[in-house]
Structure 1
């Protein structure tokens, strides 16, 4: 009898064998070949897989790949929205990534309790992740437009998405071991390999496919739909034997509801975007487009002044742009000016002021975003504001990033005047355009006796940033004269004072040269200016205030600009 038992069930241990044998001896009516039914272990299927184990394992790894790609898209979307809505991309990216990684650890710990029902738990988590990640962009935009800030919502979504992503791997580890037992190291290696390759795919798909083709709202919605379908299909088909009838009903209904909500959000997305723009920019939005570089919005209808916003920040206002552009350009034109280089300024307004001088033979405008130049060429109102400057044969436009162009293409000593019309230095993408290395390249491109004009941000609101620009110019071998021009009042442009980031109430400038600080004066043959006069320029030079202590130059490896 013992031999027959060992043949049927194997030697599972002396104590178990003896217990079964004793039960058979004590109950002789029980046939010797019947093995008592053991309870089903947690995670053990009621019935077999619908495919061979090798195929099932491949399907699990393919699902890991898809889910990892979707998870990284959610993560990158949060980073992009944080940088766009709140500014300072280094700080915002650090907050999003650190909170999300922390939450992933929390999710992994919480998933330990879900392993006995790994299939049902994984299906539920993927449905929740698809819904939360897919709708995250719309929710953050809504908070930004109607509440006035989105930082709290950003942290909340980072936590929620991180917890759900962190719970995936322990459950997938249980499921892949359920298909075929293997050593833990091999299973972890397979899962992480699929996870990392999927993250690569998601990281490349976001900037090159989703963002330019679908945008910041439709992109996450499409990603959520893919996420829900992949997770639901794996559980409801491959591991359907691990689910009770009630589990299957709930998962089918839940995934169907998620897909319906995502589809409804996609249908309503255009109307939602229009409502957000009206709330942020007011009712006078004329043009709204997303280029490969940034979001561009042009407002001003029915006689209202034009305003140009780049990534939500007011860059040009027709009410006061002449103060900015006349101050940026005309003091630098006092001297030789046959060849002029403009860095930035794709709106054409700085070029408009430069080309008012008849002795200017050539102007090279280096602009990163060709979409802004295209808008400035073709929009009737903006083209009228810049005087149709792009039709002037003396102007040549180069689509390039200013730092790289100076490094690779600028002729040494070629330009009598360089105008740096760039975003504020406190915006992280612009920091390297205010570095010692950048100004050294600009100085190399200056002709003997040439001048460099630099917009250095707001002096009243951020004096240390303004003086850091001067310290950086000196470190690059340039000597500078500074001045401050009153600008638009602080506050927000937009309905109800919400949405658009506040702009500073003044502008700070530096006029630099190699040998000595240039004299702050207008050219003797300056054209008729609308605001800048010799008296206004003298007052601007006296209004820059004292220099703070211990101001150091900014470099590529040690940027020192802080908000």
Structure 2
């Protein structure tokens, strides 16, 4: 006669010869599906916390390959550390598991708001990011040994095949949960709840998982005192996260306002970036992920310098890549020769802003019947049959301080732009400051030349930005020259003499001969990360 675990009564754990076999505890065979479900939930939460850290790294500090690699590698290393650190507590696996889940729910749930507030108040969150990566990684790493121990409890001796099957079940539930978490963050939590609330909701799910395991699966393994302590800790942790969920918007508004000198009149997080509009005494400013895009006081200097040199040959069809605020489109539409404008912008939220709050500034340009707005990634769109035969191309992209933006300043990208141009067409690129970021500026010039363009670099003073640079290009090796069309409308800032002077660079900012930036070697991103030159 044998027991359900395959042991004879004389050798079954917890029995003596002649006694009745021990009854499997609450984590026996019948509770395995619930415990495996808890494994999946814990895995989902753990992966979401890692994605929260990566998302915050990108939005607060620009992310980048180096920082992303450090977070991923640090998180994986912390998983191993957590697995080792929990070994002395495996004898009290039930109590330890509940404690770990409570701690993880609090640490993970508060991670986003802690990082955001520290960045807002102190201008940096790198140290907090590293600590959060280590703490969350260690707690997540402790889960698997504890869960493995709990799954084995009450099953008696397990042979090699049984251990393999148990590990297979554990891994399957773990990976399935990771898939769920990987899909939930970008498609559900981040777009619907945002970073702070999304992390807090994930923490709540962790606490619910701990409560379910404690109440239904481990109640026979936890003493009355342990159950009371776990209940009190769970309620306290849930209360903290509940307050955060209720007050998240107030906390975000207060922290965000510290990042800007002027009052915030509009703020939202799109699928791609944080979009903030401030206004004081009639000065409207747009920020994307904290970077100033324009000030209404002097944006005409930037916009006229960007647009009108590229219209020197009186184009009929103009392509604008980026520039979703509509200001470049406004200037293009002022030129009498223009018959068609295609505006390609990645973020529909910026287009909505241009058509709404910014419509007065841009002259409601995106509502003009000559303008065709395409919401698409510029790199992808340039590969389509529609991206052909333009007389002028305006590339008005944000500064390349992340790998995602760096690809829009690559030889490959400018090669696609070249294919979109008519034989006698011109292209202009906003290229950053030749004074503050000279290496990045001349890197853009070199990259455009590497794609087969003759270049004419130039720069103007935009008070809100400082000394700001652009590059005009045409097919071939000859520079296109800096002139204005005789059909150009009356301009507030730019004239022929000013444009000629814009092509002269001072002795302390002479042209540099540099290698181009490519998809394989995005050198311009590193140029931006080196910081600003005084």
TM-score (norm 1): 0.86
Contact map agreement 1:126 1:232 (CA 8 A) in 2 = no
Residue 328 of structure 2 corresponds to residue 350 of structure 1: yes
User: Which of 92, 99, 104 is the equivalent residue of 2:74?
Assistant: 99
Contact 1:336 1:450 in 2 (8 A): no
Paired residue for 2:310? 332
Indicate how the Cα distance of structure 1 residues 283 and 532 shifts in structure 2: closer, same or farther if over 3 A, else same.
closer
Counterpart-to-counterpart distance in 2, 1:393 and 1:171: 64
Query: Is contact 1:48–1:241 with CA below 8 Å preserved after alignment?
Result: no
Q: 2:378 aligns to what?
A: 402
Cα distance, 1:458 vs structure 2 = 2.2
SS class of match (2:265): strand
Displacement of 1:361: 0.6
Q: For residues 210-252 of structure 1, give each alpha carbon's deviation from its aligned partner in whole angstroms, at most 9, with x where no partner exists.
A: 0111111111111111111112211332112221222111111
Q: Deviations over 1:440-473 (max 9, x none)?
A: 1111111111000001122222222222222222
Q: Is the 8 A contact 2:24 2:154 kept in 1?
A: no
2:210 counterpart of 1:212? no
Distance 2:65 2:330 in 1: 35
Q: Map Cα deviations across residues 472-513 of structure 1 (whole Å, 9 max, x no partner).
A: 222211111111222345xxxxxxxxxxxxxx6332211000
1:559 to 522, 525, 533: 522
> What is residue 117 of structure 1 aligned with on the other side?
92
Alignment counterpart, residue 478 of structure 1, candidates 444, 447, 453: 453
2:511 corresponds to 1:547: yes
C-alpha separation in 2, matches of 1:280 and 1:433: 27
How far residue 151 of structure 1 moved from its aligned partner, in angstroms, is 1.0
Instruction: Give the length in aligned residue pairs.
Output: 510
Per the TM alignment, residue 282 of structure 1 is displaced from its structure 2 partner at its CA by 4.2
1:201 to 161, 180, 185: 180
Query: Does the CA-based 8 Å contact 2:286-2:293 persist in structure 1?
Result: yes
- Give the aligned partner of residue 248 of structure 1: 227
1:371 to 336, 349, 352: 349
Question: Contact 1:68–1:195 (CA<8 Å) still a contact in 2?
Answer: yes
Distance 2:416 2:250 in 1: 46
Change (3 A) 1:8 1:449: closer
Per-residue deviation, 1:390: 2.1
Select 1:452's aligned residue among 427, 448, 455: 427
For the residues of structure 2 that align with 1:389 and 1:411, how far apart are their CA atoms?
21
Contact 1:459–1:466 under 8 Å retained in 2: yes
User: CA 1:411–1:128 in 2, change beyond 3 Å: closer, same or farther?
Assistant: closer
Match of 2:263 among 284, 292, 297: 284
- Residue of structure 1 equivalent to 2:398: 423
Aligned position for 2:31: 56
Partner secondary structure for residue 513 of structure 1: strand
* Residue-by-residue CA offset, 1:385-415 (whole Å, 9 max, x unaligned): 1112123211111111111111114343x11
Provide the residue aligned with 2:10 in structure 1.
9
Query: What is the Cα deviation at residue 50 of structure 1?
Result: 4.1
Q: Note the alpha carbon deviations across 1:136-183, whole angstroms, 9 max, x for none.
A: 111111111112211111111111101101111111111111143543
Pairing partner for 2:50 from 56, 66, 75: 75
> Does the CA-based 8 Å contact 1:341-1:419 persist in structure 2?
yes
Contact 1:342–1:420 (CA under 8 A) maintained in structure 2: yes
SS in 2 for 1:468: helix
Q: Can you list the C-alpha shifts for 1:180-215, whole angstroms capped at 9, x where unaligned?
A: 354333332221221111111101110100011111
Work out the CA distance in 1 between the residues paired with 2:99 and 2:215.
11
Work out the CA distance in 2 between the residues paired with 1:118 and 1:281: 49
The residue that corresponds to 2:407 in the other structure is 432
Offset of residue 48 of structure 1: 4.2
Q: Which of 107, 110, 119 is the matching residue for 1:132?
A: 107
Q: Please give the alpha-carbon distance, in whole angstroms, between the structure 2 residues aligned to 1:107 and 1:257.
A: 24
- In 2, distance between residues paired with 1:538 and 1:233? 73
Counterpart among 319, 340, 351 of residue 362 in structure 1: 340
CA pair 411-262 structure 1, distance change in 2 beyond 3 A = closer
Structure 1 residue ranges without an equivalent (≥5): 1-6, 13-19, 21-32, 38-45, 490-503
Contact 1:287–1:299 (Cα < 8 Å) also in 2: yes
Q: Distance in 2 between matches of 1:339 and 1:8?
A: 88
Match of 2:142 in 1: 167
1:54 CA drift (Å) = 2.9
Give, in whole Å, the separation in 2 of the partners of 1:510 and 1:345.
16
Q: Counterpart of 1:456 in 2: which secondary structure? A: strand
d(CA) in 2 for partners of 1:151 and 1:8?
59
- Residue matched to 1:316: 294
**What is the rounded CA distance, in whole Å, between the counterparts of 1:349 and 1:427 in structure 2?**
24
- After TM superposition, the structure 1 = structure 2 runs for residues 459-470 of structure 1, keeping only pairs within 5 Å, are 459-470=434-445
Indicate if the aligned counterparts of 2:9 and 2:18 stay in contact, CA closer than 8 A: no
Structure 1 contact 57–179 (Cα < 8 Å) conserved = no
> Which segments of 5 or more consecutive residues in structure 2 lack a partner in the other structure?
1-7, 529-534
Aligned mates of 1:409, 1:215 — CA distance in 2: 36
Q: CA RMSD in A?
A: 2.2
Residue 3 of structure 2 corresponds to which residue in structure 1?
none
CA deviation profile, 1:17-50 (whole Å, cap 9, x unmatched):
xxx9xxxxxxxxxxxx778x9xxxxxxxx97434
The normalised TM-score by structure 2 is 0.91
| Cα distance change of structure 1 residues 309 and 394 upon mapping to structure 2, 3 Å threshold | same
